[in-house]
Amino acid sequence: MAAMDEGGRARRRTVLVAPDKFRGSMTAPEVVAAVTAAAEPLGWQVVGRPMADGGEGMLDAFGGANRSSEVTGPHGRPVSAPWRHHDGVSVIESALASGLDLAGGGSLNDPMAATSRGTGELIADAVLDGARRIIVGLGGSAMTDGGQAAVEAVLERLGGDRPIDRGVELLVACDVETVFTDAASVFGPQKGADPDQVIELTDRLHRVRAHYEDRHGGWLTEHGVDLATAPGGGAAGGMGGGLLVLGGWLVPGLRLVAEQVGLDEALTHVDAVITGEGALDAESFNGKVVGGVVDAALLRELPVLILTGTIRADVPSLPPRVTAVDLSGRFGEDASWTHTAACIRRAVEQEMDNFPEG
């Protein structure tokens, strides 16, 4: 287990633990804690970096909520939405203000009436609270309103100003490339929209885009944005495009989180890496946490252990130095779901001696 420092002296080996959440089971910080509980008694020093790709779970990756605001929920009724503000940086998850889960899921959501207003209210609160940078994670949204209600809420609360007009940088974590007017056809069905409603919502998005270009065309031109073609404009039912109107920048969520938590710097000081998520599939290696962490680790020739609740059939062959543990396969589906932390600890105890010497 021992590695050597520059003077040839034995030192404790260090592992970077950088997982995504296990959806419905454990948050990313909880996964870090479970790995730490198993790794430290084995003599490893642990560096924890909970991760996210910009959607749900991003707030946890930045340290968790320390604020809460009562805002307009996706169904038009008040909800208490947690968010974070620290050292001039505010972090907002749109799912916590305008999320599909808040609306009762796709089967109970009203896709025609669902609103993004609450996310706009949180953005305005962050500006008024003194934020110099606001990070908004898109994902898990209920609405397909083009972000119009969010834009209106921000402008109303800030007296017609955009965040950028007050010197506030607005970064929008986005992991899709859907354009603005395709939001309904791509995401509407999962939000409860039937085929006729998808057509109506698409017509609405065309009208909202025309409204933005007519009323805020100068802002878009100033920002160098063509709302018709901007990749990611259709994220969160078009709210990606709405936040472009407000002067925001759409940024790949994983890159944004990795930069904010100092992933690259952490990788320069470790001997091995552990990452993971609830289900490993082909998409895990397409702009998601696991794939991004694996790629960054292999650039430094670090061994990687992937912990996952289940491995789907479409997972590509893993490269050398990368091992994946299917908790369901090893410990049983029921245990992996209801006792995830215990399964993670057991897997770490079984696998860490297999890491090659660095």
User: Domain with 305 in it: what CATH number?
Assistant: 3.40.50.10350
pLDDT at 2: 47
Same domain (yes/no): 88, 201? yes
If asked whether residues 97 and 125 sit together in one domain, one would say yes
Q: What are phi and psi of 333, to 5 degrees?
A: -60, -45
pLDDT of residue 54: 81
What are residue 251's DSSP bridge partners? 173
pLDDT of 139 reads: 87
Domain with 18, as residue range(s), is 3-49+262-354
CATH number at residue 234: 3.90.1510.10
Question: 265-270 long-range contacts, Cβ below 8 Å, gap at least 24?
Answer: 266/16, 266/18, 266/47, 266/49, 267/16, 267/296, 267/297, 267/300, 267/302, 268/300, 269/14, 269/47, 270/14, 270/15, 270/16, 270/47, 270/302
Same domain, 286 and 184: no
Last residue of a domain, one of 255, 280, 300: 255
> Of 232, 255, 278, which residue constitutes the final position of a domain?
255
DSSP labels for 67-107?
Answer: EEEEEE-TTSSEEEEEEEEETTEEEEETHHHHBTTTTT-TT
238 in the same domain as 327: no
The first and second tokens of residue 299, run together, are 């650039």
Same domain, yes or no: 66 and 175: yes
Residues 139 and 198 grouped into a single domain: yes
Same-domain status, 43 and 180: no
Give which of 334, 278, 329, 337 is closest to 306, Cα–Cα. 278
Q: What does each C-alpha distance from 99 to 102, 256, 289 come to in angstroms?
A: 5, 21, 21
Q: Which of 202, 235, 255 is the last residue of a domain?
A: 255
Q: At what angle are helices 195-222 and 148-157 packed, to 10 degrees?
A: 40
Under DSSP, is residue 165 helix (H, G, I), strand (E, B) or coil?
helix
Q: Are residue 12 and residue 107 in the same domain, yes or no?
A: no
Same-domain pairing of 176 and 225: yes
Q: What pLDDT is recorded for position 159?
A: 98
Total domains, the chain: 2
172 and 269 in one domain? no
Question: Rounded to the nearest 5 degrees, what angle is found at the Cα of 307, between the Cα atoms of 47 and 271?
Answer: 35
Contact 28, 19 (CB under 8 A): yes
The count of other CB atoms within 10 Å of the CB of residue 140 is: 18
Same domain flag for 28 and 65: no
**CA gap 243, 232 in Å, rounded:** 11
Q: Which residues of the chain have pLDDT under 50?
A: 1-2, 9
Phi, psi of 298 (to 5 degrees): -70, -30
What is the structure's pLDDT at 6?
A: 55
Both 66 and 45 in one domain: the answer is no
